[in-house]
Structure 1
Amino acid sequence: MSQQVRITSPASVPLRPLIEAALRDEARLLERSIRRTLERLRHFETRYGMSSEEFERRFQAGELDDHPDFIEWFGELTFYRLLLAQRDALLGAEIQ
């Protein structure tokens, strides 16, 4: 799906470089958040001796209880995927 955004401003400074810099900065922030989230996922994987993929399959199948760690792990995994999607959207953006 392709999306377009139109930005106008009464300012006399060129917007394109500012927007490009803002997108790069946001992508860097997302990368930092992705690394932190991966660290938390690895912590759970080590603690419970299973990959996040196996955990998710078992959690969604109802094989695991509603332990607070499992709920947090599932939330971190969901957040990780959201961060990846946001980063990919920014990196794939093209300013014309």
Structure 2
Amino acid sequence: MAELKIICEYPDSLKQFIEEALSRRIASLKDGIRRTEERIKEFESKYQMSTEEFLRRYENDEIQ
């Protein structure tokens, strides 16, 4: 396992900075997942087909 050691004059400030950056990144990823789920639901509704059904039919060359 890799280890990163950072030596800083103000470790509490650095810790807070890193935690906030990670929190923002996590929030961004969650938002991306939410938007993707919305797009999938729209697709399923529009084509009256679940994602599982679409994948099965696509893999069996039933959809072009």
TM tier, shorter chain?
0.7 to 0.9
Q: Indicate yes or no: 2:9 matched with 1:8.
A: no
For normalisation by structure 2, the TM-score amounts to 0.74
Greater RCO, CA 8 A, separation 6+: 1
For normalisation by structure 1, the TM-score amounts to 0.53
Residues matched between the structures, number: 62
User: Gaps (5+ residues) in structure 1?
Assistant: 66-96
Task: Find the structure with the greater CA-based Rg.
Answer: 2
Partner of 1:32: 31
Instruction: Indicate the percent of aligned positions where both proteins have the same amino acid.
Output: 39
Residue 46 of structure 1, CA deviation: 0.5
Where do 1:1-96 residues align within 5 Å? 3-6=1-4, 8=6, 11-14=8-11, 15-65=14-64
Measured on the aligned residues, the alpha-carbon RMSD in Å equals: 1.9
User: Gaps (5+ residues) in structure 2?
Assistant: none
